[in-house]
Amino acid sequence: MRLQKGIIMRLKALSNYDGDLDKRFGDCILLYDNTSLVVYDCGHTRHAEAVEAFLQSDRSISQVHIVVSHNDSDHTDGVCKLLDWLYAKGQYVVIVYSHQYLKHVDTILDKISDKRRNRDSLEQSLLDEFDNIKTIIESAQACGFLTVEALSGTNVGNCTIVGPTIDEFTDVAAKAVDNRVSNNIGEGHAEETVMNAASVQLECKLENAETILLCGDASPLYLHNLDSYSIIQLPHHGQLDDAQAIFEENLTNPYNKTYFISDNTGSAATSGGSDQLVQYMKDEKYDPALNTKSGLVLIPGSAYVSVTSRQQQGVRLGEMDYR
């Protein structure tokens, strides 16, 4: 572990809004202490508004760190709105962390081994493939914010990036721009699309002395040392195959962990979703996972604020007056 000693954080994973389980709100997970906030993904403008409200409710926070786990829109769609708001406020130190593929063009070019490719065409292909990250980096730089490459070992406020390795994310980039090869990483349960596979992984020590791993939509093939974490985010919004790969292939004792699912993917046929996983865990006698489909996930504190209980209180899910 590379966590900074003596620093403890709290987690708030945002949920859906107005009881709407059909809309794809995407991911947004907040990690915070008295002076800093880490925003791990921001997949919808409603999440951006919720983060803005959170910051307005806590005037002691002066640093905002934004981690973009990967390029998919359900992890990125609210980031630029949040950046614009932070710039307009002018009172925060803001740093954005993401993969910066152009710094590794030569490595990626070697992995493609396609003599028809040259460096310039590969750079353009990478910019086209990872277009949301490109837009976010350009927006952050236009605001004068620092942009940092999300390399393993990099401190993000009081958290630490622990994966993927350079070799892993350049493998993903090579596959993403090479139409001669499969668009998947891994095999069997661990198979994942290249766009998801190398999601930036973040570890953080929480106030209850437990250490959590956030992994976006990462391939289980790229998740390492899972036995060292007490709380593990099950990747890709709780899709069953990915979770089974973690339970069956990556953990010595999968029953002694707490699991967290960020399921904000909506009800569309092409969306992810954790219903199958929830049933599987019930059948296999696992403790239920903390799941944003049921409401805000707060660690430490109440496991989640359920849809029903929040509506009874007259407070909409995702509003930031609940600390």
- Using pLDDT thresholds of 50, 70 and 90, give the confidence band for residue 252: very high
**Mean pLDDT over residues 287-315, rounded?**
66
d(CA 150, CA 165): 10
Contacts with 310 (C-beta within 8 Å, 6 or more apart), sequence order: 295, 296, 316, 317
**Which of 155, 222, 166, 207 shows the shortest CA–CA distance to 2?**
155
CA distances from 43 to 35, 79, 199 (A): 24, 7, 14
- 8 A C-beta contact, residue 36 and residue 55: no
Of residues 77, 12, 29, the one with CA closest to residue 235: 29
Residues 6+ away with beta carbon under 8 Å from 167:
none
CATH of 11-312, one of 3.40.50.150, 3.60.15.10, 3.40.720.10, 1.10.3720.10: 3.60.15.10
The model's pLDDT over 219-244, given as tens digits with 9 standing for 90+, comes to: 999 999 999 999 999 999 999 999 99
276: Cα within 13 Å, side-chain hemisphere: 10
Mean pLDDT of 2-23: 79
Going from N- to C-terminal start, the domains of the chain cover: 11-312
Taking residues 165-170, what's their average pLDDT? 94
CA 36 to chain centre: 18
Q: Could you tell me the two tokens for 209?
A: 């002395």
Position 190 scores a pLDDT of 53
* Separation of alpha carbons 67 and 204, rounded Å: 13
- The b-or-e profile of 263-293 (16+ CB within 10 A means b, else e) is bbbbeeeeebbbeebbeebeeeebeebbbbb
Find out whether 216 and 27 touch, Cβ atoms under 8 Å.
Answer: yes
At 202, is the pLDDT very low, low, confident or very high (cuts 50, 70, 90)? very high
**What percent of the chain is predicted at pLDDT more than 90?**
71
Share of the chain above pLDDT 70, in %: 84
- Which tokens belong to 3? 């966590």
* pLDDT for the residue numbered 316: 37
Query: Is the Cβ–Cβ distance between 322 and 305 less than 8 Å?
Result: yes
What ranges in 186-239 are assigned the alpha helix state H?
194-197, 235-238
- Burial of 256 per CB tally in 10 Å (0-12, 13-18, 19+): exposed
- pLDDT of 318 strictly over 80: no
pLDDT(185) > 60: no
- Lowest mean pLDDT: which of 108-112, 125-129, 179-183, 236-240? 179-183
Instruction: Tell whether the model's pLDDT for residue 15 goes beyond 50.
Output: yes
Spacing of C-alpha 162 from chain mean position: 13
Helix axis angle, 119-129 to 131-142, nearest 10°: 90
What does pLDDT average to over the chain? 87
pTM, 2 dp: 0.90
Mean pLDDT (whole number) for 293-306: 74
Give 26's pLDDT tier (boundaries 50, 70, 90): very high
Q: Which pLDDT does position 132 carry in this prediction? A: 96
pLDDT of residue 115: 66
